Amino acid sequence: MKSRHLAALSIVEDALQSRLADAARSVGENASEIPRVTLPPTRDPSHGDFATPVALSAAKLWKCDPMKVASALADHRDGGIAGVASLEAARPGFVNVRMAPGFWSGVIAEVLERGDDYGRSDALAHTGPVLIEFTSANPTGPLNVVQGRSGSLGATLVEMFRFAGATTASETYVNDAGAQLDTLAASLYARYAALFGVDVPFPEEGYPGDYVIDVAHKLRDRDGDKWLHAGPDERRRALGKFGRDVIVEEQRADMERFGVHFDVWFSEATLHDGGAIDDVVADLQTRGFAYEKDGAIWLRSTDCGDDRDRVLRRSDGRPTYLAADAAYHRDKLRRGYKYLVNILGPDHHGYIARLSALVAALGHPGSIEVLLAQQVTLKRGDETVAMSKRAGNTVTLAEVMDEVGVDAARFFFIERAPESHLVFDLALAVEHSQKNPVFYVQYGHARIASILRKAAETGKSALLERARAAADVAHLGHPAEIALARRLSDFERTVVDAVNDRAPHRIAEYARNVAGDFHGFYTGCIVLTDDDVLTSARLSLSIAAKTVLASSLRILGVSAPDSM
RNA sequence: GCGCUCGUAGUUCAGUUGGAUAGAAUGCCAGACUACGAAUCUGGAGGUCGGGGGUUCGAAUCCCUCCGAGCGCGCCA
C-alpha cells in the first residue's frame, strides 16, 4: 500500500543498490559490507530532487575515494533508471537524482485520487497490536497540564501508529487503590459534614481544591445526611468510591472535550479485588523471578537491568504498586498486545527500569517502551504562572482549554519533542496572528476553502471537476508549485519516520511547512485566472494541499476550519 | 553520591540517528495588495551548537572530561 511515488523511489533505490553491489565487486575484498541506499529529498533544489550520501559511507567502509564510488553510481553506460532524468556525482560524494518531468505533478494526481487516505501506509502493520497507555492518574482531582500534554502526546501517537498501519489501542489506568483514596474520602467527608454545619477537621494531607466541595454537594444530593451517622469503615469505603466515580467521570469528560478518547479506562482496584495480584506474584515466584527476604517478596529485577530488586509484597502482606502493575501488564499481554508503550509523567523516570524488568520477568523482554512527557511551565506573556500542588493552585487542563481553546492547547502541547521541557505561553495561544502557529496552519486551510468557494461562485464549477480529476496537473511547473508538491509528497515518509522515532512534534512542524508552502504558492501564483487549463491545474494543487493539511491536523487532533 | 532528561540566534525550539553553507518561528530593521482572505508574502541583520579534549574525508550528532539547569533515587502511589 505504499504510495506510487514512494514505489517509484524504491525502484531508483534498488537500482542504485545494485550498482553499489557492482562497485563493491570492482573494489575487491575490502568491500564485504555494503551499506543501504537511502534517498532523502534534497534541501537545496540545485542538488536535484533527491540525493543519497551512500557513496560516502561506502567509501569509509571500503577505504577508498568517495567520488569514485559516487561516479560509479551515477554512471549511465548500462542504461538509465526508470523515472530518472539525470544522475550526477557531486563532491564530496553525493549522488544527486533528478526525476523525469511529470514526477511531481503525478504526486498531485495521487493525492486527489486517494483523498483522506493519502499518506496512509502499512509500514508498521507487522508491529501490532500496540497498546498505548497514557495519562494514567489518581482519581483524586482534576487533570493538570502535564496530563494534558501526555494526553495530547498519546492521542497523537495512537493516530500516527494507525496512519502507519499498526493496530493500536489507547488505554488509561485509574489508580483507585491505596492510601490516596482514603485521603480523598477523608477530605470529602470534611467538606460534606461542613454542608450540614458539622465541623470535621480537614485532614493534614487532604486535597484542598474546591472541586472536593462540588463532590460533597453531589454526595449530599444523592444520600442526604446518611454518612454523618455511618460507621467509619463503611463511610471511608463508600465515600472513597463515590469520590472516585465522580472524579473519573470528570476526567473522562475533560479528555473527551480535549479530543482524547481512551478505548479502556482500567481500574487498579479490580486487580486487587479479583485476586490477579496474588496470582501474578505467585507466578513470578514459581518461575524464579521473585523471592522471599526479610518477610517480604521481591522481584528479581536486577536480572533484567534494574539497579536493585524491588518489593512486590510487603512484610505485612500488602501488595505494592509494582505488584498491581505486574498484574496489570500481564493482563495487557494476555489480551494479545504484542507491544506496549507507556507514557509517564516527568517525575517517574526512576520507574522505567523496573517496568521494563517487570515485563521481561513476565516473559516478554523488550516488548515495553516508556516515554516521558516532560514538565510544562505556563506563562502569560512575560509573567510565569505559579503552580504549586501544596498551595492547591495548580492550573487544570480544563482551565487551559477554557482560556485558549482545544485547538491551541492540542497544538502547543504537541509542538515540542516529548522529552524537552515545554514553555506554554497562554497569551500567545489565544492570539489570532502570525505569531500563533495554530492559526497560521488553520488559516492556510481556510484560505484554500475560500478559493474553492470563490471558484464555485464565479461559475468555474466545471473547472473544479477537471481539477478534482487532476486533468491538467501536467501544466504545473512554477517553483512555488513544485515546492508545494514536493512537500505533499513527503507526507507518508514524514509520518512513518516520526512514528518510528516517537516524534509526534514533527507532524506539527510538517503541517506548518505545508501551510507555509501553500502561502508561498498563493502569493506567487494566482489560482483563479482567465486561463482555464492553468486554473484547473492550480485548483488541483490547492485541493491536494487542503487534503494533506486536513489529514495532518486530524492526526494532531486539531480542527481544520473552512472559514475563520 | 548515583541515575534520568536537557544545554543550539535576544526568546521559544527543530535538526530525519555521522553528511553539502547549523534551520524555523518570534522579536528587530527594510519592503510588498486596484486580483482568489495582508490572520499573508519577500529581503536583511542576528551563532564559539555550555567549555575543553578525542575519533575521521566530515561532529550539534559518537567517546572522554568538566560546568550548569530540572527531576528522580521508599516495604509511597
DSSP string, A161-205: HHHTT--EEEEEEE--SSHHHHHHHHHHHHHHHHHTT---PPPTT
- Starting at the edge strand found earlier in the chain, the sheet holding A290-293 runs A290-293, A296-299, A310-313
The DSSP H or E segment spanning A464 is helix A461-468
In the prediction, which pLDDT does A102 show?
87
The pLDDT of residue A388 is: 64
Is residue A552's beta carbon less than 7 angstroms from any atom in nucleic acid strand B?
A: no
Cβ atoms of A408 and A438 closer than 8 Å = yes
ipTM at complex level = 0.93
Is the pLDDT reported for residue A63 higher than 90?
Answer: no
Angle between helices A491-500 and A145-163 (to 10 degrees): 120
Q: Order the strands of the A383-384 sheet from edge to edge.
A: A383-384, A376-380, A422-425
Sheet holding A130-133, edge to edge: A264-267, A168-174, A130-133, A339-344, A368-372
Q: Between the CA of A352 and the C1' of B9, what is the distance in angstroms?
A: 35
CATH of domain A4-99: 3.30.1360.70
Beta bridge partners of A168: A130
Q: What are the grid coordinates assigned to A491, written together? A: 507526507
Which range (A221-235, A353-367, A395-409, A417-431) has the least confidence? Answer: A417-431
Distance between the alpha carbon (CA) of A359 and the C1' atom of B12, Å: 38
Q: From CA A455, how far away is CA A464, in angstroms rounded?
A: 7
CATH 1.10.730.10 positions along chain A are 435-556
Residue percentage of chain A with pLDDT more than 70: 97
Q: Give span(s): CATH 3.30.1360.70, chain A.
A: 4-99
pTM of the model: 0.94
pLDDT band at A391 (very low <50, low <70, confident <90, very high): low
| Cis ω before A203 (30° cut-off from 0) | no
List residues bridging with A292 in a β-sheet.
Answer: A297
The pLDDT of residue A29 is above 70 = no
- Residue A392: pLDDT band (50, 70, 90) is low
Distance in angstroms (rounded) separating the CA atoms of residues A46 and A292: 68
Q: Which is higher by pLDDT, A41 or A525?
A: A525
The pLDDT of residue A30: 57
Q: How many Å from the CA of A501 to C1' of B46?
A: 32
Q: pLDDT (tens digit, 9 = 90+) per residue, A77-104?
A: 767 888 888 888 887 888 989 888 889 9
Spell out a b/e string for A349-370, using b for 16 or more CB atoms within 10 Å of the CB, else e: eebbbbbbbbbbbbebeebbbb
| Higher-confidence position of A101 and A340 | A340
Nucleic strand B near CB of residue A47 (< 7 Å): yes
How far in angstroms lies nucleotide B73's C1' from the CA of residue A378?
27
| Structure confidence by residue, pLDDT tens digits, A289-315 | 999 999 999 999 988 878 889 999 999
Would the pLDDT of A192 be above 60?
yes
What's chain A's length in residues?
564
Q: pLDDT: is A117 or A208 the higher one?
A: A117
**Could you tell me which of A71, A251, A260 has the C-alpha nearest to residue A150?**
A260
Arithmetic mean of pLDDT over chain A? 91
Which residues in range 389-428 of chain A are in contact with strand B, contact meaning CB within 7 A of any of its atoms? 415-417, 419-423
Query: Residue A124's pLDDT band (boundaries 50, 70, 90)?
Result: very high
Report the alpha-carbon distance of residue A492 to residue A494 in Å, rounded.
5
The model's confidence at residue A445, banded by pLDDT at 50, 70 and 90, is very high
Which CATH number applies to A435-556: 3.20.20.100, 1.10.730.10, 1.10.443.10, 1.10.150.20? 1.10.730.10
Report the pLDDT averaged over residues A124-137: 92
- Among left, alpha and beta (phi > 0; psi -120 to 50; other), residue A317 is left
CA A147 – CA A408 distance, rounded (Å): 16
Which nt has its C1' nearest the CA of A350? B72
Whether A298 contacts A309, CB under 8 Å:
yes
Q: A93 with A66: CB under 8 angstroms?
A: yes
pLDDT band at residue A10 using 50, 70 and 90 as cut-offs: confident
pLDDT at A273 over 80: yes
